[in-house]
Amino acid sequence: MKSVNVAELKNRLSAYLSFARNGEEIVIRDRNLPIAKLIPFPAGDAAEDEILLVAAGKMRLPRTPLNARALWNIPTGSVRSSRAVDALLRDREEGL
């Protein structure tokens, strides 16, 4: 892992971006105190539109693949059917 002070990073940004592009992580220091980390972008098998959303700050790529089985096993609450119907009817009345 490389380490760089802010002034050098500003002067040689393209070189440090090349390091990150090649898979290296760079610790950024301000007066020798670590303040941030520049890491490679793990696009993997992301589609172009997903990469554009990430670049715009509107989406983050998942750190791990989706485990559908675990998703379906998340506990959920339950409501008696009559209470659910009453809540739905009240909601519809408020919308009128």
Q: First-to-last CA distance in the chain? A: 61
Number of domains in the chain: 1
Specify if 58 maps to a domain. yes
Specify if 75 maps to a domain. no
pTM: 0.51
Domain containing 32 — which CATH number? 3.40.1620.10
User: Which residue, 47, 70, 50, 66, is CA-closest to 58?
Assistant: 50
Q: What is the pLDDT of residues 3-25, one digit of tens each?
A: 999 999 999 999 999 999 888 99
Which domain range does residue 34 map to? 1-64
Q: What is the pLDDT of residues 40-74, one digit of tens each?
A: 877 777 788 888 888 898 988 887 888 888 888 88
Q: What is the pLDDT of residues 69-94, one digit of tens each?
A: 888 888 887 777 788 888 889 999 87
Structure tokens at 68: 């559908």
Specify if 87 maps to a domain. no
Specify if 77 maps to a domain. no
Q: Which residues pair with 33 in a beta bridge?
A: 30
Specify if 70 maps to a domain. no
Please indicate whether residue 1 or residue 36 has the higher confidence score (pLDDT). 36
Q: Report the C-alpha gap between 65 and 72 in whole angstroms.
A: 15
Specify if 78 maps to a domain. no
Mean pLDDT (whole number) for 24-46: 88
Q: Report the C-alpha gap between 23 and 88 in whole angstroms.
A: 52
